[in-house]
Amino acid sequence: MLENINYSQCWEDPRVVTNALAVSGEDTVLSITSGGDNTLALLLEKPKRLISIDSNKTQNYLLELKIASSKVLDYQEFLEFLGVEKSRERLDLFKKIHNYLSVESKSWWQGQPSLIEKGVIHVGRFERFLNSFHNFILPLIHSRNTVAKFLDITNLDEQKEFYKKNWDTKRWRFLFKIISSQSVLKIFARQKGAFKHTSAPRVGNIYFERFKNNLQTIPIKDNYFMHYCLNGDYRLISLPPYLEEKGYNFIKNNQIQLDIITIDILNYLKSIPDNYLSKFNLSDVFEFLSEEENNRLWEEIIRTAKHGAIIVYWNNLVTRSYPDYFSKNIFDDKEGAARLSKIDRAFFYGNFHINKVIK
């Protein structure tokens, strides 16, 4: 039985990923698919080869659909079909697209007309949770006018002042911490196994502080992560790179050097030669692993990585990194990670890591 789509968007900032990895035409890149957005952002960097993997087939079907829609549709249709713009024509637009999908992907999407009609950037488990939040919970806290004013602020000092005086109410703090608690997220938002290794207390408090800290440093007006969380959509002035017209045109007009593979990352790495990969976008993959599983995965990462390979990943609620016995094989670029963390528009994660392989 196929899993459902857990994430129809990526919730790691692509400008952090692309800046950290600095992909060139000589690179062979491995990227976790998830919602596909960051795989596509890396594709725009023109690597020699890009492999996007996910153990959930439906995540890869979503990536296929995003690519096919850019190949077939004009830019306005592309935005409408995916859900950036409103549309009542998505099922008709899908008929233009489906023959450009793999047989399995085409069959699956043909059986999901309700997902197509909603706009596929909105249909992941996590995105449905966020939509419920801004449709049903947020109106209990702030009016639409207050939300709109907040999202329109352009000055960071004004933003911090507005948050302090108008946004950070007792009701906001109380309901935010409940809606982002481990028990609620486990039932309604995160995929299976997300909290298996989590021992952090008061998860809602942790996410509340991350949200608050983000608003002290990152302008909200062009932060599409915040716009989606609080308003359920993007603004055309701020989009993931593949949704920008420049990104759309690149994918539409170029042959795509991309392999999409459904497999868990450990078994994939076991299947490839030594010294094969030069860049790794690993999302928060270590979050779901025991310490023993984490160490086995790092053994394969080190084996398959070229000298000088760069590995980027996030910790959310579980602290995971390379085992101590690989300390001579890893340069932990804490300074670079700290610098990029300061421009990270997504507030969900705790720690960002940039590791460089030494052989």
- Kindly give the pairing relationship between strand 305-315 and strand 330-332: unpaired
pLDDT of residue 200: 77
Question: In this structure, is residue 272 part of a structural domain?
Answer: no
How many domains in the chain? 1
53 bridge partner residues: 32, 261
Question: In this structure, is residue 196 part of a structural domain?
Answer: yes
Task: Determine the structural domain holding residue 227 and report its residue range.
Answer: 125-231
Helix (H) or strand (E) holding 14: helix 14-21
| Those residues with Cβ within 8 angstroms of residue 42's Cβ, 6 or more apart along the chain or in another chain | 17, 18, 21, 23, 29, 31, 50, 279, 281
Question: In this structure, is residue 359 part of a structural domain?
Answer: no
CA–CA gap between residue 69 and residue 252 (Å, rounded): 9
pLDDT of residue 196: 79
What 195-200 contacts at long range (C-beta under 8 Å, 24+ apart), as own/partner pairs, is: 195/317, 196/288, 197/287, 197/288, 197/289, 197/290, 197/318, 198/317, 198/318, 200/317
Question: In this structure, is residue 213 part of a structural domain?
Answer: yes
Question: In this structure, is residue 185 part of a structural domain?
Answer: yes
Q: What are the pLDDT tens digits along the chain (359 aa)?
A: 567 999 999 999 999 999 999 999 999 999 999 999 999 999 999 999 999 999 999 999 999 999 999 999 999 999 999 999 999 999 999 999 999 999 999 999 999 999 999 999 999 999 999 999 999 999 999 999 999 999 999 999 999 999 999 999 999 999 999 999 999 998 887 877 777 777 778 999 999 999 999 999 999 999 999 999 999 999 998 999 999 999 999 999 998 889 999 999 999 999 999 999 999 999 999 999 999 999 999 999 999 999 999 999 999 999 899 999 999 999 999 999 999 999 999 999 999 999 999 99
| Those residues with Cβ within 8 angstroms of residue 243's Cβ, 6 or more apart along the chain or in another chain | 79, 82, 84, 234
pLDDT of residue 136: 96
Question: In this structure, is residue 305 part of a structural domain?
Answer: no
Alpha-carbon radius of gyration of the chain: 20
Question: In this structure, is residue 192 part of a structural domain?
Answer: yes
Question: In this structure, is residue 77 part of a structural domain?
Answer: no
